[in-house]
Structure 1
Amino acid sequence: MRAPALLTAAAALMGTAAARAADIAVSSFAGPTPVITIRGAIEPGDELKFTRFAAVLPSAVVELDSTGGHLAPALTIGDLLARHNFSTYVGPHAVCSSACGLIWLAGHPRVKQATARIGFHAAYVPDAGGVDRENGLSNALIGSYMTRLDLGTEAVIFATAAGPGAMAWITPEDGARSGIPFEVVQEDLAGLKTAGPSRAEVVDEAVGSLKAAMSAARRAETGAGQKDGIARVPHRTE
């Protein structure tokens, strides 16, 4: 594989020029599922940041908000996301296009908010004169990647049909025709992220409740011992 060809193609799958690497972080829903957010241009090295989070999370929702970036790290993130069986989500009025759209494809399930936009186009590189040209190697890698995601020929055609400077924004009808199933939701799932206590707070609360219950049990035993004249030995809790 000629990896340098992918890394030097700074605009191979970008909607805008990359100023800095994506912001990748973890937050949590009110429930038990954590959320990995990916915002901004996808740059080399972002796949390593994502790997560190994915390695310690048994499940996750990957929330995307990016106009694209480099192809190689995006495909690596997508492959890892698929292996972990994470879901993908694009929130209200957010855009996930180009390389970001390829990451979104790896979700199980794929979800978008009704006002979100998810777009695809063929991979391209600038020629010596600075004119964007479709790149056969990169598009072949996209096809191979989508095959690993169990997406068929029609899906690959849809994702690579739009040329440089164009964008195919997926609709439910497009998804049905091309074999890219996804869910559309009306509510803002991202709003759940700060709606409830964190996992640490839930654990602390549970431990506190347990300690309180044990203290109450000890008091009850002590009281019963005093009433019936029996000396009771307290239980060890170590």
Structure 2
Amino acid sequence: MVFVKGPIRSGDADRFAEILGGLSRPKASIVLMSPGGLVKDALDMGVQIRQRNFATVVLPDQECYSACALIWISANRRYMSPRSTIGFHAAYIRENGQLRETGMGNADIGSYLTHLGLRREAIMFITQSPPEGFSLLTPNKARELGIDIFEQDGTTVTPPSSKPTLDAMVRLGAGYIELSATCSNLFGLDAAEMKSLGEQTFKEGHDAFGGENFGRLLSYEMEAVGNLRDRSGLLASCVEAVRKVAETGRTVVRSPSFDCRKASTVAENAVCRRQELSASDLAMSALYSHILKTAPKSVADKTRTSQRNWYRMRNACEDDADCISSTYELRLKQLEKIAFQ
């Protein structure tokens, strides 16, 4: 654990880097207790935390304001308690003894938060309060703004999968509905069950976050689903639906097209561990089988040869999930072109 206590001053980002470089283990939690300080150093420290995939923690009854809060939000794994005090406000400079908001500072913060993947409402919340005030973040407010948190209550920690954000619930519900409407046959799913789960998720999200907030994000999400289907095809949309469900810890696709007990390569084992890769494998297998059954012999023979070459390319990815995903995406496009030309 690395403790950050007191004001963030000039040179602290360099000192922070030295301390992180001397850690004996590759993982660390950054415990924050600070009134804030220089935005530049805070953002540099946040980048270091993000790059190393460290966690940030504000303990119960501890305070983390301003620049400190920007460090806390930089992590993929953020811990807080209902008794943690995390406060945000706009960037400012002191001019003639007065505090004045600075457009350039807020632009830097906005760019930083955008790169963290936060949406507009979260960025507005973080930068809306004047220098002499604070917008205080609670666990429920974090979830409403789409900020994943691990909520600590004594020795109990509630992960994001157990209490999803508004954004996650919208994606989850949309994923279920997409699976029920267009993808159930492809993955061997019960369409009625997927539809029921989607409707249940929509109701829970509506009750937890309000109809206006939920409805607005849902409309954006369904538009994005339609755009993906138009741009990349039905299969890509179905695989993406599985990914949306999987990111909240739910399981819909339990195995790929092959028996995972007989997986013989590092890449095959990686496919078995990740739902979205299993879904891609099922989609690819369905298309491949369709081509072999319906295409002329010459086309089927060429497809068998290219499939063997593709297997070698996928297996060369070994345990790299992004590489494996890219190879499946490429193969699905190739097979779709052959099947529907």
- Provide TM-score, normalisation by structure 2: 0.44
Structure 1 unmatched runs, 5+:
1-34, 190-238
Structure 1 residue 114 displacement after superposition: 3.0
Percent of aligned positions with the same letter in both sequences?
Answer: 37
Give the aligned residue type for 2:8. I
User: What is the distance in 2 between the residues matched to 1:163 and 1:178?
Assistant: 20
C-alpha distance in structure 2 between counterparts of 1:141 and 1:154, whole Å:
17
User: Does the aligned pair in 2 maintain the 1:89–1:111 contact within 8 Å?
Assistant: yes
List, as ranges, runs of 4+ consecutive aligned residues in structure 1 with deviation greater than 6 Å.
none
Equivalent residue number for residue 3 of structure 1: none
Higher relative contact order (CA 8 A, sep 6+): 1
So what's the TM-score if we normalise by structure 1? 0.62
Letter in 2 for 1:144: S
**What SS does structure 2 have at the residue aligned with 1:88?**
strand
Match of 1:231 in 2: none
Q: 2 CA distance for matches of 1:115 and 1:102? A: 19
In the alignment, is the contact (CA less than 8 A) between 1:113 and 1:188 conserved in 2?
Answer: no
Q: Distance in 1 between matches of 2:153 and 2:145?
A: 23
Q: 1:188 to 1:52 in 2, by over 3 A?
A: farther
Q: Of Structure 1 and Structure 2, which has the larger fraction of its residues in strand?
A: 1
Q: CA deviation digits over 1:52-90, x for unaligned, max 9?
A: 122344111000000101111000000110010000001
Contact kept? 2:118, 2:147, Cα under 8 Å: yes
Q: Distance in 1 between matches of 2:119 and 2:104?
A: 19
Equivalence map 1:75-86=2 (5 Å): 75-86=43-54
1:154 is aligned with what amino acid?
A: E
Which residue of 105, 110, 123 maps to 1:156? Answer: 123
Contact 1:92–1:188 at 8 Å: present in 2 too? no
Aligned to 1:102: 70
- Given that 2:13 and 2:41 are in contact with CA atoms closer than 8 Å, whether structure 1 keeps it comes out as yes
User: In the alignment, is residue 122 of structure 1 matched against residue 110 of structure 2?
Assistant: no
**Secondary structure in 1 matching 2:60:** coil
Contact 1:91 1:188 in 2 (8 A): no
Among candidates 23, 37, 56, match of residue 69 of structure 1: 37
After superposition, give the CA deviation of every residue in 1:31-61 in whole Å (9 maximum; x if it has no partner). Answer: xxxx111000000111111101223441110
**CA distance in structure 2 between the aligned counterparts of 1:40 and 1:56, rounded to whole angstroms:** 21
Could you tell me which residue of structure 2 aligns to residue 49 of structure 1? 15
94-103 or 105-114, larger mean C-alpha shift: 105-114
> Structure 1: which amino acid aligns with 2:135?
A
Alignment size in residue pairs: 154
CA offset at residue 188 of structure 1?
6.4
Question: Is the 1:112–1:184 Cα contact (8 Å) retained in structure 2?
Answer: yes
Kept in 1: contact 2:55–2:78 (CA 8 A): yes
Specify every segment of 5 or more residues in structure 2 that has no aligned partner in the other structure, as ranges. Answer: 157-341
The aligned counterpart of 1:138 is: 105
1:133–1:109 CA distance, 2 compared to 1 (3 A): same
One-letter amino acid matched to 1:45 = G
- How far residue 172 of structure 1 moved from its aligned partner, in angstroms, is 2.0
Q: Which amino acid aligns with 1:92?
A: P
Counterpart among 51, 59, 68 of residue 27 in structure 2? 59
Which of 3, 27, 40 is residue 6 of structure 2 equivalent to? 40
Distance in 1, matches of 2:128 and 2:146, equals 15
Q: Alpha-carbon deviation of 1:113?
A: 2.6
Are the counterparts in 1 of residues 82 and 138 from structure 2 also a CA contact under 8 Å?
no
Answer yes or no: is 1:171 the counterpart of 2:171. Answer: no
Residue identity opposite 1:109 in structure 2: R
Q: Which residue of 2 aligns with 1:181?
A: 148
